[in-house]
């Protein structure tokens, strides 16, 4: 697939580094002048803007956190007067006020550019049609992908999330080559096609650009097979710009996504100490914008766990690559002293063909002990093979094939992650499904008494 901006995406590393250093110096001087929060941050650390000479000086600065956006709600971190803004986005925020971000016209151009790079890396080409099933609205996904697809020269179908029947109809009638949505919603669409007897070869889609929530190879496999596509990962967050901070290359698909490093500088730090970690070690991703005007951020603590490598990938791009997100630090389940991420459990499912990557993790407290229940769907072919109608504890107990499968899953989870989970096998179709957006796969009932 052609690279969208070859001169920038394959910039030799010494030149890329020089560009980053220069842009960082400008960005620091800019926020020092314009954003009281950053002036106070630098002064608090005893620094002048000129003390940040290049990216290696970033660790001198403290982190910017989500609560800093909340504390300055709505526009306190903005570096331009509101009449110079072109757009506002906000992220959901389950409790209280959302976090608000702003863009100048120039920021929107950068946004479109990095999304166009991402789509091209994912296999999209000018003239292809994009079925954009990310939500439109305050969420950055819909409009973010939209702008990037237009920039690349694609034909955009701005369907947004939800209303699955209509999505299926328009995919069949318009025959788009590319889809973007959350991985869990891609699973929903794949199942719906299957239910209607439409085979993957009959579905026009060739590429899927999936992100906004953690996912693993188990889900990649089910989406690729179900829709007949090659899916790649798109990563981003509204505080930095939105989706399109990083994307996997369709010919690599090894879980490593190129971070568009001329605009966003990535660091990985220790989750507890905040100390920079060497390449290849998993920690919290921290991002610094290098070219933002409306709301630049220095050292934003994403909470997302990953590692970075600067080993060049096969595509010829020189930018750093980040691994699939293992989860956010706030998704971490501490189960009897062991740290567990839902994605670790999901990864185990890949090894067991008799189960499907549809599951729910339920946390309960039994007396003083945390108990984890993994409610896991049996794969359809296996379900038919055992000839069960409905699964219940009695049915599973009575059929040695089901009981053995249940025990096998529990053993694999224990072997791979080190925690005992109670596995409950459930019938195909009974775990929660995405109806358009991000899917919550964990139900924490521990504090419900």
Q: Point out which residues bind ligand ADP (CB under 6 A).
A: 91-92, 140, 211-214, 233-238, 302, 304, 325, 328
The token pair at 302 is 């994403």
Residue 177 or 213: the one with the smaller Cβ distance to ligand ADP is 213
The CB-of-116 to K ion minimum distance in angstroms stands at 23
Spacing of C-alpha 103 from chain mean position: 21
The token pair at 377 is 């769907």
Residue 228 or 342: the one with the smaller Cβ distance to K ion is 228
Residue 212 contact among K ion, ligand ADP, none, beta carbon within 5 to 8 Å by kind = ligand ADP
Residue 59: closest CA among 251, 324, 288, 338 = 288
Number of residues located near K ion, criterion CB under 5 A: 3
The token pair at 285 is 């991703």
Residue nearest to K ion (CB): 228
Span interacting with K ion, options 102-110, 224-232, 362-370, 406-414, rule CB under 5 A: 224-232
Residue 119 or 325: the one with the smaller Cβ distance to ligand ADP is 325
Residue 238 contact among ligand ADP, K ion, none, beta carbon within 5 to 8 Å by kind = ligand ADP
Residues 347-366 that bind K ion (CB under 5 A): none
Q: Is 223 one of the binding residues for K ion (CB under 5 A)?
A: no
The CB-of-392 to ligand ADP minimum distance in angstroms stands at 34
Residue 205 or 425: the one with the smaller Cβ distance to K ion is 205
Residue 178: closest CA among 114, 132, 111 = 132
The CB-of-119 to K ion minimum distance in angstroms stands at 17
Phi, psi for 444 (deg, rounded to 5): -100, 105
How many CA atoms lie within 13 Å of 177's alpha carbon, on the beta-carbon side?
A: 13
The CB-of-237 to ligand ADP minimum distance in angstroms stands at 4
The CB-of-177 to K ion minimum distance in angstroms stands at 9
Residue 228 contact among ligand ADP, K ion, none, beta carbon within 5 to 8 Å by kind = K ion
Residue 228 or 357: the one with the smaller Cβ distance to K ion is 228
Residue 95 or 368: the one with the smaller Cβ distance to ligand ADP is 95
The CB-of-212 to ligand ADP minimum distance in angstroms stands at 5
Residue 147 or 228: the one with the smaller Cβ distance to K ion is 228
Buried/exposed code over 240-270 (b: 16+ C-beta within 10 A; e: otherwise): bbbbbbbbbbbebbeebbbbbbbbbbbbbbe
Residue 187 contact among ligand ADP, K ion, none, beta carbon within 5 to 8 Å by kind = none
In the sheet that holds 283-289, the strands lie side by side as 264-269, 283-289, 300-306
The CB-of-306 to ligand ADP minimum distance in angstroms stands at 9
C-alpha 378/C-alpha 353 separation (Å) is: 9
DSSP for 23-46, written as a single string? HHHHHHHHHHHH-HHHHHHHHHTT
Check whether the bond before 103 is cis (ω within 30° of 0).
Answer: no
Q: Could you tell me if 357 and 385 are in contact, meaning their C-beta atoms sit under 8 angstroms apart? A: no
Residue 203 contact among ligand ADP, K ion, none, beta carbon within 5 to 8 Å by kind = K ion
Spacing of C-alpha 181 from chain mean position: 11
Residue 223 or 379: the one with the smaller Cβ distance to ligand ADP is 223
The CB-of-175 to ligand ADP minimum distance in angstroms stands at 26
Residues 174-213 that bind K ion (CB under 5 A): 203, 205
The CB-of-285 to ligand ADP minimum distance in angstroms stands at 8
Beta-strand (E) ranges in 32-140? 87-91, 99-103, 129-132
In angstroms, what CA-CA distances link 276 with 16, 260, 283?
20, 20, 9
End-to-end CA separation in angstroms for the chain: 55
Q: Is 228 one of the binding residues for K ion (CB under 5 A)?
A: yes
């Amino acid at each position: 697939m052609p690279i969208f901006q070859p001169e920038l995406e394959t910039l030799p590393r010494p030149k890329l580094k020089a560009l980053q250093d220069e842009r960082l110096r400008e960005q620091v001087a800019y926020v020092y002048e314009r954003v009281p929060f950053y002036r106070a941050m630098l002064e608090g650390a005893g620094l002048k803007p000129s003390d940040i000479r290049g990216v290696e000086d970033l660790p001198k600065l403290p982190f910017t956190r989500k609560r800093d956006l909340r504390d300055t709600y709505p526009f306190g971190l903005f570096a331009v007067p509101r009449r110079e803004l072109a757009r506002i986005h906000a992220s959901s925020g389950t409790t209280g006020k959302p976090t608000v971000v702003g863009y100048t016209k120039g920021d929107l151009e950068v946004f479109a550019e990095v999304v166009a790079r991402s789509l091209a890396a994912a296999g999209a080409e000018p003239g292809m049609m994009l079925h954009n099933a990310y939500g439109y609205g305050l969420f950055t996904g819909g409009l973010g992908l939209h702008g990037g697809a237009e920039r690349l020269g694609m034909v955009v179908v701005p369907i947004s999330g939800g209303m699955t029947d209509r999505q299926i109809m328009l995919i069949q009638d318009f025959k788009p080559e590319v889809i973007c949505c959350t991985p869990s919603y891609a699973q929903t669409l794949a199942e719906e096609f299957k239910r209607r007897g439409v085979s993957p070869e009959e579905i026009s889609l060739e590429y899927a650009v999936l992100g906004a929530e953690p996912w693993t190879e188990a889900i990649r496999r089910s989406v690729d097979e179900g829709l007949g596509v090659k899916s790649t990962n798109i990563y981003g967050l509204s505080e930095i710009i939105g989706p399109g901070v990083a994307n996997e290359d369709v010919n690599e698909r090894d879980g490593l996504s190129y971070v568009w490093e001329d605009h966003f500088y990535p660091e990985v730090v220790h989750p507890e100490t905040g100390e920079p970690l060497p390449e290849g070690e998993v920690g919290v991703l921290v991002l610094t914008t290098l070219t933002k005007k409306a709301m630049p951020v220095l050292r934003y603590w994403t909470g997302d766990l990953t590692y970075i490598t600067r080993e060049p990938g096969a595509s010829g791009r020189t930018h750093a690559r980040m691994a699939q997100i293992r989860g956010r630090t706030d998704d971490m389940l501490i189960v009897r002293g062991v740290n567990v991420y839902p994605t670790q459990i999901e990864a185990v499912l890949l090894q067991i063909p008799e189960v499907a990557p549809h599951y729910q993790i339920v946390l309960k407290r039994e007396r003083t002990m945390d108990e984890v229940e993994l409610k896991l769907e049996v794969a359809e072919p296996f379900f038919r093979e055992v000839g069960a109608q409905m699964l219940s504890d009695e049915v599973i107990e009575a059929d040695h094939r089901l009981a053995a499968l249940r025990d096998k899953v529990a053993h694999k989870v224990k072997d791979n992650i080190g925690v005992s989970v109670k596995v409950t096998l459930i019938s195909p179709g009974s775990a929660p499904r995405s109806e358009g957006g991000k899917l919550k796969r964990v139900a924490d009932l521990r504090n419900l008494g």
